[in-house]
Chains A and B, each alone.
Chain A
């Protein structure tokens, strides 16, 4: 089976998932992002790499943060950006996903950034667009959110450059999390020897260990001696679907507090993809504490998205 993300020369054609990409491709994205961190810190935060290119943000599911970071990234590359919140336009008029995409392709788009509530939506679009169009998955169902996974490993690399000696724990709702899946594939591909997932059994998908992770159900064991803690957002629906009794009990057993953080290595860092639920999955003292790298994640997110866009446009 051909990898739908690569062109016939083995170069990145679309970014749909971090799974199935080589370490070389992932490292190229991270290294390219390093060069853009400088751009984002300058007075004039713009480079002309994508001048004249049209990037369409297709958001079939509402999201302000992710859409905004993609928009900023595209604008810093001097691309023209069109934002479409399709959740409230054509889909409600009965237009199919591919109809929408075909219409926009006819407007000479160069790149689609796609967010959709269904797993596989970005793959479907990538399979049906004209060959000169690139697709970036900005989150599809529970499946993947590759730029988030990449910005997380980028952030880790900034603080912990040697991946060969890292112990990483991902904590929370792994079952519903596209972020967790993208983090796991990126970390394991880049050679992190130990990736743990920590969650109650109701928030873990079956056979998750096949993704190459170690499964823990208790924070006390799972956090011991880890270098990196990646917290996940807990959606309130999980209480309604009888997966958890209450946010209070969740916080009591799985929330990240200063005491629990002390189980990890002394210099461990804490990540969160945002938006945070303070007092549910993370205590404010940790979120705002000195081990937190949550705000740098947001900054690096722009550089990583610039890197992905420029690499795709170059291919």
Chain B
């Protein structure tokens, strides 16, 4: 089926394109940008005037909750949420049940996802068996089954020798190791940033040094092993400064931040709002500002949704007992736009953080628009504000700190392989 997307503002961060023109799609590919291919007759026209046409979003951390946690969310509900948010490619962490540590499980997930004909799913395999931090997984086999990187999700890697060897082994094959820096002992039992709010509310704290101590180890091990490392969901100003210094020394490190953390701080916990129980914890205002600045200067490469749908029962508990996490895929674009508007960042740079940059980190062919590229597109109205409420979300998880807020950017169409998979 051939399509024309008429009169949209095409923004492709990778090539630097920013112009109003038509996009021509045939056989799932972009066959024309601006100029119609010879003899092109469209079956469907999409009027994108006053809208932005950009590459489909790429999300580095989206929990689909399958297998194992279908009461929280199902692949169907979360894939619908992804395309409603303009996401066409996503990486899912290995913390399913069972853990993604065997090729068969990865193949099954890829197969289930493919059969839905929605976003492309890129599993991150477990770095250690059962995420226990003891024995390595069969990384090469897992790569053949479809894993694009290896990590521990939120599980610790307590033994630094295992960390070093996992990095050495992964780098043997050129695999990227994804780590969220957090020292398990310093963070033990903690649920909120070690600061004024946790002190007032009497919540067990997670100190900043839980992040920086782990980060120091990872940076040293990166230097030692030469492994490529992607740092997930950095949370502190000191952490950003350490990463900036490490990158200036030329270490092969990339970094992401969750969309929640560039807008919120410990103050948002208010009176024990369990929707603000997140991993890592929301930190002080100064930390949030450093994350926003780090994103702008390129220390932080990408924004991820850190999508973690939680069912109501597991949120209606005292703060510390409530399960951590927030639904996020449908908020990724609005929260990125909000950051960009507040920091006066060019739109192309904002979109790069959720398209071209995460695609580069994943090492997949996605996140760009050019002749011959797969027609994975997001078409959105940047001016339209919408209210975040349970009924407006496709995700089975309705829990987010942004409930009740008005956010900019409504996805109008999402196309995957040239097919319209979402119309908003």
Contacts and interface: CB of A to CB of B under 8 A. Distances in A.
Contact of A210 (B199, B202, B321): B199
B45 interface: no
Interface in B247-297: 270-272
Contacts of A178: 202
Nearest to A3: B271
Nearest to B269: A120
B219 interface: no
Interface in B171-228: 194-196, 198-205, 207
Contacts of B204: 142
B316 A205 contact: no
A136 B196 CA distance: 24
Contacts of A207: 195-196, 199
A96 B313 contact: yes
B202 to A, nearest CB: 3
A118 B320 contact: yes
B201 A143 contact: yes
Given A96-B313, A205-B198, A118 B319 contact: yes
B271 A4 contact: yes
Nearest to B197: A207
Interface residues of A, number: 27
B318 interface: yes
Contact of A19 (B200, B205, B317, B321): B200
Contacts of A124: 272, 316-318
Given A98-B316, A206-B195, A207-B195, A142 B271 contact: no
A104 B113 CA distance: 45
A1 B317 contact: no
A208 B194 CA distance: 11
A206 B199 CA distance: 7
A123 B272 contact: yes
Residue from the set A98, A140, A141 with the largest chain B CB neighbour count within 10 Å: A141
Contacts of B199: 205-208, 210-211
Nearest to A185: B200
A181 B200 CA distance: 7
A118 B204 CA distance: 10
A120 B196 contact: no
B318 A121 contact: yes
Given A124-B272, A206-B195, A118 B321 contact: yes
A118 B318 CA distance: 6
A210 B195 CA distance: 10
Contacts of B194: 206
Given A4-B271, A142-B202, A116 B316 contact: no
B43 to A, nearest CB: 52
Interface in A1-59: 1, 4, 19
Contact of B316 (A96, A119, A144, A210): A96
Interface string B324-355: 00000000000000000000000000000000
Residue from the set B316, B317, B318 with the largest chain A CB neighbour count within 10 Å: B318
A97 interface: yes
Nearest to A180: B202
Residue from the set B195, B203, B272, B319 with the largest chain A CB neighbour count within 10 Å: B272
A244 B59 CA distance: 46
Contacts of A206: 194-195, 198-199, 205, 207
A17 to B, nearest CB: 9
A178 B195 CA distance: 17
Contacts of B321: 118
B318 A116 contact: yes
Contacts of A120: 201, 203, 271-272, 318-320
Contacts of B317: 96-97, 118, 124
Interface in B300-326: 313, 316-321
Contacts of A119: 201-203, 272, 318-320
Nearest to B195: A207
Interface string A112-153: 000010111101100010000000000011111000000000
Contact of A141 (B196, B202, B313): B202
A286 B316 CA distance: 45
Nearest to A144: B202
Contact of B202 (A96, A98, A128, A181): A181
B364 to A, nearest CB: 42
A246 B80 CA distance: 58
Nearest to B319: A120
Given A118-B319, A118-B321, A119-B320, A143 B202 contact: yes
B319 A205 contact: no
Interface of A: 1, 4, 19, 96-98, 116, 118-121, 123-124, 128, 140-144, 178, 181, 205-208, 210-211
20 contacts: A19-B200, A96-B317, A98-B316, A116-B318, A118-B320, A119-B203, A119-B272, A120-B272, A120-B319, A123-B272, A124-B317, A128-B316, A141-B202, A141-B203, A141-B320, A143-B203, A206-B205, A206-B207, A207-B195, A208-B199
Which 5 A/B pairs are nearest by Cβ-Cβ distance?
A142-B202, A120-B272, A143-B202, A118-B318, A205-B199
Interface of B: 194-196, 198-205, 207, 270-272, 313, 316-321
Given A4-B271, A119-B202, A205-B198, 19 more contacts: A19-B200, A96-B317, A97-B317, A118-B319, A119-B203, A119-B272, A119-B319, A119-B320, A120-B271, A142-B202, A142-B204, A143-B203, A144-B202, A178-B202, A181-B200, A206-B198, A206-B207, A207-B195, A211-B200
